[in-house]
Amino acid sequence: MKPIKNALLKSPACYVAACLCAISANVAAQTEPKTSTPAPAAADAEKSGPTFSSKLLLTGGVTNIEGSAGGGLTPWAIIGGNGTKEQIGGSVFYTQARANDYTLNVAGAMVGLFDRVELSYAEQKFDTREVGGALGLGNGYKFTQKIYGAKVRVAGDAVLEQDSWLPQIAVGLQHKENDRGDLLRALGIKSDRGTDYYVSATKLFLNSSILVNGTVRLTKANQTGILGFGTNTKDKYKAYAEGSVAYLLRKDLAIGAEFRQKPDNLGFKENNWYDVFVAYAPTKNISVTLAYVDLGNIVIKEKQKAPYLSVQIGF
């Protein structure tokens, strides 16, 4: 934890996170005044011990490849875990996307606090398989990236406010640390660390069983940070659009599609990402997502397409 602590202290990320928490605490205090007398139903809930798993099925989303609650490619404004505003929830996940020439494995965990704040950690392992050998790095050369995420819901309720146009809105950040700094710098990449900032808006249109999410991300990341951040000639934050749409077929089954616009600052062509997915929740605590992702060109291999499997266990 020490390196991240130092990195966070040096970066503007911690100030932003601290501000966000302070703002959200204020919002919470203003909009959700506590009543002093415990009423019958609440008292009963207390008697039966701490309670979890109170969100409606599949409305908590799945986990994105960077560890935030959302779709597979993009974070949503939803706070992860099954907790409601009086509860703490959380989840763990494992994801594998196996493209033609590369494999990405991700594992992580998140905690959702009072349906307001989400804190997450994810570790990505990007295996170059035989491409590593072809590049003189050795077969199975891996990049490991650690991602620390924070998200705060600032307005709205994606699920219940069905008579309002206002989506649920959240702001968040993903601080990323890549372990291959020396190689990245040799390639003319500016840094092995970076922080993405994003705003997400998510709305469930229950009347038509459709969920829509739009996200704008400020980033310098090359291939989401697997290839570092910025280059020696281009090192400015720019905004990129991401989107998801899901159709709920049953309360435990959804299908959908996503896209994620990406920077293209490297000498190696980088493309936008697209996917189609099926998400299934056999029980309230488990969801399984199957997807097919079009990753485009990655370094020296073009037309990368990947079956994607993700399993999430929540509470």
- Is residue 30 near another protein by the rule CB under 8 A? no
Could you give the C-alpha distances from 236 to 75, 190, 248, in angstroms and in order?
A: 22, 11, 39
Candidate list 19, 22, 29, 42; residue touching another protein; CB under 8 A: 42
- Least distance (Å) between residue 79 CB and another protein: 13
What is the H or E stretch that residue 211 is in?
Answer: strand 210-219
195 C-beta neighbours (distance < 10 Å), count:
26
Instruction: Candidates 20-28, 84-92, 102-110, 191-199: pick the segment binding another protein (CB under 8 A).
Output: 84-92
- Return the number of the residue (123 or 252) whose C-beta is nearest another protein: 252
Candidate list 121, 237, 280, 292; residue touching another protein; CB under 8 A: 292
> Where are any strands of DSSP class E within 99-208?
103-113, 117-127, 142-155, 168-178, 189-191, 193-205
Q: Which amino acid is at 32?
A: E
How many whole angstroms separate alpha carbon 172 and alpha carbon 149? Answer: 7
Residue 143-162 contact track with another protein, rule CB under 8 A, x = bound = ----------------xxxx
How many whole angstroms separate alpha carbon 200 and alpha carbon 70? Answer: 10
- Return the number of the residue (44 or 130) whose C-beta is nearest another protein: 44
Taking alpha carbons only, the member of 193, 19, 191, 183 closest to residue 117 is: 19
Taking alpha carbons only, the member of 201, 140, 134 closest to residue 165 is: 201
- Return the number of the residue (231 or 289) whose C-beta is nearest another protein: 289
| Number of residues lying near another protein (CB under 8 A) | 51
How many whole angstroms separate alpha carbon 213 and alpha carbon 227? Answer: 27
- Return the number of the residue (16 or 290) whose C-beta is nearest another protein: 290
Instruction: Candidates 8-16, 105-113, 174-182, 255-263: pick the segment binding another protein (CB under 8 A).
Output: 255-263
- Is residue 40 near another protein by the rule CB under 8 A? yes
- Give Cα 307 distance to the centre of its chain: 19
- Least distance (Å) between residue 94 CB and another protein: 24
- Least distance (Å) between residue 28 CB and another protein: 13
- Is residue 259 near another protein by the rule CB under 8 A? yes
Residues that bind another protein (CB under 8 A): 35, 38-45, 48, 51, 54-57, 84-87, 115, 159-165, 203, 205-210, 212, 243, 245, 248-251, 256-259, 274-276, 292, 294, 305
